[in-house]
Amino acid sequence: MLSRKIIDELTAVLGKENVLTEKEELACYSFDATADMPQSMPDVFVTPTCTEEVQKVVEIASKNKVPVYTRGSGTNLSGGTIPLKNGIVMGMVKMNKILEIDAENLNAVVQPGVIIQDLNDAVAKHGLIYPPDPGTVKTATMGGSVAECSGGLRGLKYGVTKDYVMGLEVVLANGKVMRCGGKTVKNVTAYDMVKLFVGSEGTLGIITEIIVKLIPAPETRKSFLASFKSLDDAANSITGIIASKVIPATLEIMDNATIKTVENYAHVGLPTDAEAILLIEVDGLPEVVAKEAQAVEKVCKENNGQLKVAETDEERDNLWTARRAALPALAQVSPTTVLEDATVPRSEIPKMLKALQEIAGKYDLKIGTFGHAGDGNLHPTILTDERNKEEMERVHKAVDEIFDAALKLGGTLSGEHGIGMAKMKYLENEFKEAGVEALRSIKKALDPENILNPGKIIDLEG
């Protein structure tokens, strides 16, 4: 518990309306969107309204060695925002202004509490887009999404969040503010602190302002649904499309378990007898789209795919609604949905899919798999029930094996969800001892007292 004195100090800085201490209020911040994680109550929830207030909160925290857990909408999927060691949860939702849209230089300056979709709506008026689009684009904040380095459906062609963050203002663990990067397309002045803070999950500094790159909106786009009787055919189509030098904006896969569940939930006419479907979108100038669409059709047909083109906007919307429904649909089937983001080089997708089937069989679990096939980022989703202790033991063993399989195939622990609490125990499997030591030294360098989101990514006591 925090002393009354600290609460009073926080209240003096932020005003009463920005300091919550009632149990019922705090309970909302004791968990996040991640399943199968412990809950932990914060001592206080604060909502600063400007950088100076963030600084003062951090100064108070630093002076009293109290943890600060920074939080946007809490949509992350690795337990990143759970206040494991209690202390202060700092909600950034009141710093939610779009400060500038600089269409001439193709960038925007935003506060961390801006919702991703709101930014996209604002820049659409200038014919521009901000490409990163995590599934939670309508609820997630820019700050959270930068701290987690969100991926999304367009990663293959457009990259992920880190590819769009040009500059940051960050409050450091010592309460000082630093700026790095800026509005220039090129910047190699000293170490790339921007990219270091992106994806650092609030453990190295608190993001208070973000400069993001924008790009011209594609003029047109074309979406397909390709159904396959075998996983191999689907997988070969994925590599075939890339081999034909087409980089689709989106190239998603769903396995049979996911198809059935989604169809049952969303009724959009998915082929429930298909072993796998691919959802593909190409975009750009009309001439490019026509040419790439042709190539996509050719590859899918060569691999025994049944192709359906979305002829109208409504049909297109249906397709993508189906894709975005994958997680909620799977989540409805069972009380607990353990969603992973094991990621492998694209060519290893067939092997990874096979490994997932084997793991499901071995531990007698229901695993639905969908995800960003084009960039090798799969979402094996285990449908289970937290209350069933025996089954959860099997789930945990299966998760261990999923990550083992991904690493063995030259993959990574996390394509887009981050490490948070959920994957800390696997970190050394990927980074080995020397790498973990290096990561730890970075954390110690920027947060020597371990007050920023302690207990995430890397264990300083370890």
In the region spanning residues 151 to 210, those forming contacts with a second copy, defined by CB under 8 A, are 151, 155-156, 160, 162-163, 172, 174, 176-180, 182-193, 195-196, 198-200, 204
Q: Where are the alpha helices (DSSP H) in 131-272?
A: 142-148, 155-158, 193-197, 231-243, 256-266
CA distance 55 to 198: 19
CA–CA separation, 36 and 396 (whole Å):
10
Which of 32, 148, 340, 391 contacts a second copy by CB under 8 A?
Answer: 148
Spatial CB neighbours of 252, under 8 Å, sequence gap ≥ 6:
153, 278, 279, 280, 323, 370, 371, 372, 373, 374
Q: Which listed range, 81-89, 117-125, 381-389, 430-438, lies at the site for a second copy (CB under 8 A)?
A: 430-438
In whole angstroms, how close is the CB of 55 to a second copy at the nearest point?
11
Residue with smaller CB distance to a second copy, 127 or 335? 127
Among 6, 106, 235, 356, binds a second copy (CB under 8 A): 106
Q: Rule CB under 8 A: which of 223-242 touch a second copy? A: 239, 242
If we measure between CA atoms, which residue out of 329, 360, 422, 343 comes closest to residue 35? 422
CA distances from 139 to 67, 120, 347, 417, 432 (A): 25, 13, 33, 16, 36
Which two structure tokens, joined as six digits, stand for 136?
A: 């939670």
Closest CB to a second copy among residues 37, 259: 37
DSSP code for 61: H
- Binders in 67-96 for a second copy, by CB under 8 A: none
Q: What are the residues whose beta carbons fall under 8 Å from the beta carbon of 243, sequence distance 6 or more?
A: none
Nearer to a second copy, 118 or 430 (CB): 430
Sign of CA dihedral 446, 452, 458, 462: positive
Closest CA to 457 of 215, 249, 206, 204: 204
The three-class DSSP label of residue 42 is coil
Which residues between 373 and 402 bind a second copy (CB under 8 A)? 374-377
Tokens representing 399 are 């998760």
State in Å, rounded, how far the first CA of the chain is from the last one.
25
By beta-carbon proximity to a second copy, the closer residue of 258 and 377 is 377
Nearer to a second copy, 94 or 126 (CB): 126
DSSP state of 161: G
Choice between 3 and 244, CB closer to a second copy: 244
Q: Which amino acid, residue 353?
A: L
- Calpha distance 376→35 (Å, rounded): 23
Instruction: State which of positions 110-129 bind a second copy (CB under 8 A).
Output: 127
Among 86, 120, 223, 414, binds a second copy (CB under 8 A): 414
Q: How far is the CB of 149 from a second copy (least distance, A)?
A: 5
Among 79, 368, 411, 455, binds a second copy (CB under 8 A): 411
- Stretch of residues binding a second copy (CB under 8 A), selected from 7-15, 27-35, 243-251, 268-276: 243-251
Contact between 374 and 248 under an 8 Å Cβ cutoff? The reply is yes
Q: How many chain residues bind a second copy (CB under 8 A)?
A: 90
**Binding residue for a second copy, selected from 431, 449, 459, 460, defined by CB under 8 A:** 431
The residue (of 43 and 416) whose beta carbon lies closer to a second copy is: 416
435 binds a second copy (CB under 8 A): yes
> Which residue of 343, 369, 381, 450 would you call a contact of a second copy, by CB under 8 A?
343
Q: Which is nearer to a second copy, 318 or 343 (CB)?
A: 343
Task: List the one residue from 93, 98, 392, 439 that touches a second copy (CB under 8 A).
Answer: 439
Distance in Å, CB of 65 to a second copy, minimum: 19
Q: Which of 412, 449, 459, 460 binds a second copy (CB under 8 A)?
A: 412
Q: From the CB of 23, what's the least distance to a second copy, in Å?
A: 34
> Least distance to a second copy from the beta carbon of 133, Å?
13
Residues 275-314 that bind a second copy (CB under 8 A): 284-285, 287-288, 291
Least distance in angstroms from the C-beta of 7 to a second copy? 28
Tokens 């190239």 found at: 251
Rounded to whole angstroms, the Cα distance separating 361 from 355 reads 10
Structure tokens at 384: 């289970």
Pairing mode of beta strands 107-110, 206-213: antiparallel
- Shortest gap between Cβ of 426 and a second copy (angstroms)? 9
Nearer to a second copy, 19 or 61 (CB): 61
Question: Which amino acid type is present at position 317?
Answer: D
Sign, CA dihedral 79-80-85-89, equals negative
